[in-house]
Amino acid sequence: MKKLLLFLTMMVGTLTTYAADYTYLTFEMTDGAKTSVDVSALTLTISGTTLTAGSQSFTLSNLSKMYFSASDETTGIRQMPVNTLDEIIDVYDLQGRKIAKDQMTKGVYIVKTKQGTHKIAVK
């Protein structure tokens, strides 16, 4: 844990020198989700297994990488686990019409599951 803290401290200190043109620090999770934090008054703290960057908190074991970026890369789109396909509660097309799961053809749909709402593409 001490090595990780030292590494993160050195990384942020080193990267700050080169980050003048970048306004966001982007955190990428192991599931591919990204969260960007404005660096204008950024403070980083580590408490146990949690990294806090501004108002955002991250579990260290879920972080894949972090890097400076010129734009906010937060998309809100995350991968839907394959095993949740059987747990689909409702399906909607992009016009907002509710359809039956067996009526899905090629296209993009919004599906509601117990884990949340997801956008999927059927190929």
> What is the rounded average pLDDT of the residues 87-116?
87
pLDDT of residue 40: 83
User: Which band of pLDDT confidence, cut at 50, 70 and 90, is reported for residue 48?
Assistant: very high
* Cα separation, 54 vs 36, whole angstroms: 10
Over residues 66-76, the pLDDT tens digits come to 888 887 776 65
CB atoms within 10 A of CB 37: 19
Domain ranges for the chain, please list them. Answer: 2-69, 82-122
Phi, psi at 102, each rounded to 5°: -80, -5
pTM over 0.75: no
Burial class from Cβ neighbours inside 10 Å (0-12, 13-18, 19+) for residue 92 reads middle
For 31, the enclosing helix (H) or strand (E) is none
Q: Report which of 32, 28, 58 is spatially closest to residue 44, judged by C-alpha positions.
A: 58
